[in-house]
Amino acid sequence: MELNKIPHELSYRNIKYPRIEFKTGKLLLVLPFGFDPEIVLKKHKKWILKKIEFIEGCLKDAENKDIVKRTEKEFREIIHSLAERISEELDEKLNKIYFKSMKTKWASCSAKRNLTVNQLMKFLPEHLLYYIIFHEIAHLKQKRHNERFWGIIEKKFDDYDVLERELFIYWFRVA
């Protein structure tokens, strides 16, 4: 694929170093003012093409994913039950659980120990709900996605990379 044919958006900001983001499957180059985007595209071409191939595969797989149909009440009950069970398992206390629409993530857990759950999770199979809630509560033990955090995840989910890909596929299916 030619570099100039890679679909991307540019965002110029008051930053020191350029960075590349794939937000919900779209390539975004965040650049310092006056920076030539071709430099970033050339330097990271191999990584960008690998990521595009991954996304295209996920888009194709998303066509065959069945979405779960459950009521809002059922969804909230499952989330509260999972959060309670996982909180005990990880010996971490949650404060509150909020439900809202989110554009780029399945859930988040704040420093105030509040769990915010994306309404789109309602359409996911229960094993993915469990994984997402576990992942977020694990952030109470380790804030960043570093080696220690992934160690906590891997103790429970030795196939977490498969689950992460499945979540990516479902994002394209339900978002």
Q: What is the pLDDT of residues 75-89, one digit of tens each?
A: 999 999 999 999 999
Task: Write down the pLDDT at residue 23.
Answer: 74
Task: Write down the pLDDT at residue 3.
Answer: 59
Domains and CATH numbers, the chain: 3-62 (no CATH), 72-174 (3.30.2010.10)
Task: Write down the pLDDT at residue 157.
Answer: 97
Amino acid at site 66: D
Low-confidence ranges of the chain (pLDDT < 50): none
| CA 10 – CA 58 distance, rounded (Å) | 24
Task: Write down the pLDDT at residue 6.
Answer: 74
Answer whether 123's CB lies under 8 Å from 78's CB.
Answer: no
Of 150, 131, 130, 134, whose CA–CA distance to 142 is shortest?
A: 150
Task: Write down the pLDDT at residue 4.
Answer: 62
| CA 101 – CA 10 distance, rounded (Å) | 26
The predicted model scores a pTM of 0.85
Task: Write down the pLDDT at residue 8.
Answer: 85
